[in-house]
Amino acid sequence: MPRRDDVHKILILGSGPIVIGQAAEFDYSGTQACKALREEGYEVVLVNSNPATIMTDPETADRTYVEPVTAEVATRVIEAERPDALLPTMGGQTGLNVAMELHEKGVLEKYGVTILGADPDVIKKAENRLDFREAMVKIGLDLPRSAVVNTFAEARDVRDDIGLPCVIRPSFTLGGTGGGIAWNVDEFDDICRRGLDLSPVSEILIEESIYGWKEFELEVMRDVADNVVIICGIENIDPMGVHTGDSITVAPIQTLTDREYQLMRDSAIKVIREIGVETGGSNIQFAVDPATGRQVVIEMNPRVSRSSALASKATGFAIAKIAAKLAVGYTLDELSNDITQKTKACFEPTIDYVVTKVPRFNFEKFPEAKAVLTTQMKSVGEGMAIGRTFRESLQKALRSLETGRFGFGCDAKEAQSELYEKEELRRRLQTPGPNRIFRIREALKSGWTVESLQSHTQIDPWFLTQMKLLVDREEDLRAHKTLTDVSDDLLRRAKQDGYSDHQIGTIFGLPEAEVRAQRRARDIEPAYKLVDTCAGEFEAATPYYYSTYDEEDELRPAAKDRIVILGGGPNRIGQGIEFDYCCVQASFALRDAGYETVMVNSNPETVSTDYDTSDVLFFEPLTAEHVLDIIERTDAKGVIVQYGGQTPLNLARQLEEGGAPIIGTSPESIDLADDRQRFKDLVDEYDLRQTENGTATSYDEAVAIARKVGYPVLVRPSYVLGGRAMEIVYDDETLKRYIEEAVDASPEKPILVDRFLEGAIEVDVDAVADGQKAIISGIMEHIEEAGVHSGDSTCTLPHYSLGDRAIAEIRESTMKLARALDVRGLMNVQYAVKDDVVYLIEVNPRASRTVPFVSKATGVQWARVAARVMAGEKLADLDVPESIDLPFFSVKEPVFPFNRFPGTDIVLGPEMRSTGEVMGIDRDLGLAFAKAKLGAFLSLPREGAIFISVKDADKRGIIHVARRLAALGYDIVSTAGTHRLLTRSGVPAEMIYKIADGRRPNVLDIVKNRKVNMIINTPSGRGARTDEGQIRGVAAMLAIPCITTMSGADALAHALESYRSDALGVKPLQDYHAELRADAALA
């Protein structure tokens, strides 16, 4: 069937900011969809608020609206663009929910917009628990016993029929937010209440517990001619009870016979047909009772998903791209398989390797929350690895995580880890947590049998046996005194089992480089094999490789000079999609400049690991060993370590020692910027200003410095990204506690102690330099005061309150730093401005988190410019504007995962905790603020109540804000102290009891009852158990906007003023950029 000609313009909804459960995978899918549809000649209109994506690059879609992904905004875009069709399945649950809302509000019908892929009835049938269940019963598929209820009383009624333990899942929430397993009646009550609250339709599913059953997923595709294929089967190592996003998962399925697999395949096909997904991909989850083989259907996602991105990377079959083409009418047999080019997309990939995905957690950033895995997803990213055996791929995946692990144990980190005593170990095996895999190793090492491990963990014995084989291999190695005593055969087999040089070095007490040298002297080298969708049956055209220790190498010779770009590894807080954006831009720029680009990365969610992005892709862990092998074997002329965030930077030294040709700013300069003493010397030499500071390696030293510079001080370990373990400390005692914890967080690294400037304005500056010249790409003013991590701050571009003198000094200092550090490429400088005095906070001569935001705000692809500079070109030859006057404001607003970590205090601090960001653009600063808030899914009520409670220091400042809010017609509610202040100042306010007053209703009651629409609370005390901590916690769980800084409150007032008076206008990035170009031409 040819493609549809009745459709010309297609609207795609993105997934918005990166949040837990909805991450970079939707940038990957969305970008593919845009490309696929434009390739077919369709005009693509995109709505996505996330500036850090490749998807929102002005070149990806025809009309790119960096606006909130909400029904309100999408309606405006539809009014403006009049698309013929909407593709709702590319933007995760967010995109799908907005599409449903547009349908329900009649917007689609009104403007004649057709839904492609799956119509609203289909989406509803797949997503609504009851409808889905009915459909499954109709086609004769087995399900767990269950009931759907809408009230708490109904939930109580069905409890005994279903029995405990049971699983509770709210309808229509992201990544299972609010769900859980109830083991007792109290938990049952709690989870049911929370689930009903969080479900937008107040509906929960209560279900027979199949906790401990084996969990599987199938990725299914269907075309308009009803051809159905299975792209990939995935088996979860962690059994049912752990969200699949938090499970270690493996492709293909390992422990089903063909008969059982085919039964599951038949069921999946029946499901997609019955639900009626007309075209595109779906993810269907199954559980299998290990004792009897009974298979039950769990759920279906009628859209591309995290799993489909994983399946695409695992098999080489580009699900989102093909889904987009199917949506416009092609059939599977009309599309070719990209990888073989000779065969069709209508087939089922078969693979000859094993893929393991391991989730990446950030529990250390939420110490108040329990580090326990449940049916609600908590991981912030994932690493994937490919090996010829499960053992190899598991070890590679574990060292992809960058948690200091180099595989399944035998590493420096293990040597430092405490061993658990028997009972504690048992408990940690029974309760899934982020490091359970290492507890399994600990148990195996201390003689536990596979049977006993299975009964504690419910993990399939096949996987446990494979883990035991790894421990056995270690014992084989340890049976030798020295590495030289180990036979070539044993060493090769250890490498085949995925043992890294680092691990082997740990076993024999040798440095990694020494193991590498010995191994290579014995001619034990990795071979690179192709991911080809067909297990070698056809020749692959696409250069997508992984390493293994087999005989035959399939790496093809270079056609041109190669440049290797090192990616950022798994997403985690502090290192997100922004760095992937930069790596992809570098690849595009260098390809344009005539190089063959080589990407190395281990994150399956990303655009960088799309085999279409670079000329050669290595899906490999970012460790010195793997990267050095690649650099050598690809005969790279250059290596870029500055674009992938801290990950590749941490390798720079080792790579350089290994002879890697690092291009751009020298690792020496990067080190210098991180080395306090040397940097201080440089600051003095160039006459720059820093706050007083010092470097301490012990508590005594730290206290001495703190007393010298004066409290409060900002303390942090060196060499970290994302403000890990950064804190503002007010006294000796807290400093002592901090040192104990921080040293633990970052061993062998000194602690930096800085005087902390209270109330200063923080400024982020991005620049690019070529050794001769530097250009400032953006000066961003933070809303939150210095002390809040820059990644967690809202910021505006251009700045809006800084004086000309401060700006001039900032410019000058930045230029000096570019020269001083001989920057060739990107750099980011952070300043604090207090009383018009500019203090240098830090400089990072590498890609920063703000690069994509600045690029979108200024219409220049800075990461591309810098990549070409790194390859040797000059700024003067690259047609880059020296300075850009911005006639509109861009606001970057962070998005936080607090609702996933109950019990966490949401107060902002120097430790970064946001997972993603959104961008709001408007001529009016207030509207730009408002759009950023809406983009972050914070509802901005046009009327209602605002609860205000501020610390004493903020009391004076709040009067003005409260007055403005009251003038807008909001009801101000506050507790006694603030209330007295406001009413005395003539601001009408209503009083409410504090929790401590012991009288009801108190403030917590009205927050819980959603009688409050917004909260302004600047904390006087931190901690989830304080009164205000409880209020903030509840607000986070109920998604009630909660502002915790005065500057934020001021910005909010500004946003509400504009938002209430003006209609929210929308405008695509392409128009903003055209405006900039026109202005530049006039100038």
Partner 1 sequence: MSNERPALLVLADGTTFHGRAFGADTERAGEVVFNTAMTGYQEIATDPSYAGQIVCMTYPHIGNYGVNDEDDEARRPWIEGMVVRDLSESASNFRSTQELDGWFKDHGLVGIEGIDTRKLTRRIRIDGAVNGVLSSVDLDPASLRAKAEALPSMQGQDLVKRVTCNESYEWREGWPAPWMKRDGNGERAARRIVALDFGVKRNILRSLVAHGLEPTVVPADTPAEDILAQEPEGVFLSNGPGDPAAVTYAVDTIRGLLGKVPIFGICLGHQLLALAGGATTSKLKFGHRGANHPIRDHATGKIEITSQNHGFVVDEESLGGTAFQPTHTNLNDMTNAGIASEEHKAFGVQYHPEAAPGPHDAAHLFERFRGMIEGGSATVTP
Binding positions for partner 1, rule: CB under 8 A: 225-227, 229-230, 252-263, 265-266, 290-293, 332-333, 343-344, 346-354, 388-390, 450, 460-462, 465, 469, 476, 490, 527, 529, 534-539, 550-552, 554
Indicate the residue among 212 and 290 with the shorter CB distance to partner 1.
290
CB 440 within 8 A of CB 467: yes
Q: How far is the CB of 479 from partner 1 (least distance, A)?
A: 10
Choose between 507 and 810: whose C-beta lies nearer to partner 1: 507
In the complex with partner 1, the residue whose CB is nearer, 461 or 1065, is 461
Residue 989, helix vs strand vs coil:
coil
Count of alpha carbons within 13 angstroms of residue 1021, beta-carbon side: 9
Which residue type sits at 86?
A: L
CB 359 within 8 A of CB 379: yes
CA distance 350 to 469: 26
CB 508 → partner 1: shortest distance, Å? 18
Nearest CB to partner 1, comparing residues 134 and 352: 352
Six-digit token pair at 681? 């010397």
Look at the block and give the residue holding tokens 């000096």.
816
Round to whole Å and give the CA distance between 59 and 711.
Answer: 49
Q: Is the CB of 538 or the CB of 699 nearer to partner 1?
A: 538
- Assign residue 16 a region (left: φ > 0; alpha: ψ between -120 and 50; beta: otherwise): left
Residues in the chain: 1083
Rounded to whole angstroms, how far apart are CA atoms 914 and 901?
13
Q: 313 with 544: CB under 8 angstroms?
A: no
Minimum distance from residue 2 beta carbon to partner 1 (Å): 13
Q: How many Å apart are CA 926 and CA 803, to the nearest integer?
A: 20
Q: Under a CB-based contact definition with an 8 Å cutoff, are residues 240 and 210 in contact? A: yes
Which is nearer to partner 1, 423 or 552 (by Cβ)? Answer: 552
In the complex, the smallest distance separating the C-beta of residue 477 from partner 1, rounded to whole angstroms, is 11
Q: How far apart are CA 316 and CA 476, in angstroms?
A: 36
Beta strands in 90-145 (DSSP E): 114-115
DSSP result, 460-495: -HHHHHHHHHHHHHHHHHHTSSSGGGS-HHHHHHHH
CB of 273 vs partner 1, minimal distance in Å: 13
Beta carbon nearer to partner 1, 483 or 1015: 483
User: What is the rounded radius of gyration, in angstroms, for the C-alpha atoms of the chain?
Assistant: 28
CB 780 → partner 1: shortest distance, Å? 50
Identity of the residue numbered 410:
C
Residue 294 or 707 having the CB closest to partner 1: 294
In the complex, the smallest distance separating the C-beta of residue 493 from partner 1, rounded to whole angstroms, is 8
Token readout for 27 is 């940038």
Give 430 or 465: the residue with its C-beta nearer to partner 1.
465
Shortest CB 490 distance to partner 1, Å: 8
Minimum separation from the CB atom of position 537 to partner 1 (A)? 6
- Distance between CA atoms of residues 779 and 857, nearest Å: 11
Q: Which is nearer to partner 1, 262 or 1009 (CB)?
A: 262
How far apart CA 714 and CA 545 sit, in angstroms, is: 44
Torsion, Cα 780 782 787 789, to 10 degrees, reads -70
Instruction: Please report how close the Cβ of residue 143 comes to partner 1 at its closest, in angstroms.
Output: 15
Q: Which is nearer to partner 1, 22 or 307 (CB)?
A: 307
Kindly state the smallest distance separating residue 105's Cβ from partner 1, in Å: 38
**Phi, psi (5° rounding) for residue 948?**
-120, 130
Could you give the CA distance from residue 674 to residue 683 in angstroms, rounded to a whole number?
A: 13
Select 498 or 1068, whichever has its Cβ closest to partner 1. 498
Q: Which C-beta is closer to partner 1: that of 292 or that of 484? A: 292
By C-beta, is 368 or 553 nearer to partner 1?
553
Interatomic CA distance for residues 126 and 230, integer angstroms? 18
Closest approach, Cβ 227 to partner 1, in A, equals 4
Q: Which of 445, 444, 548, 549 is nearest to 491 (CA)?
A: 549
**Minimal CA–CA distance to 754: which of 793, 781, 723, 797?**
723
- 410-413 contacts: CB < 8 A, separation 24 or more? 410/474, 410/499, 410/503, 410/504, 410/506, 410/507, 411/502, 411/503, 411/506, 412/502, 412/506
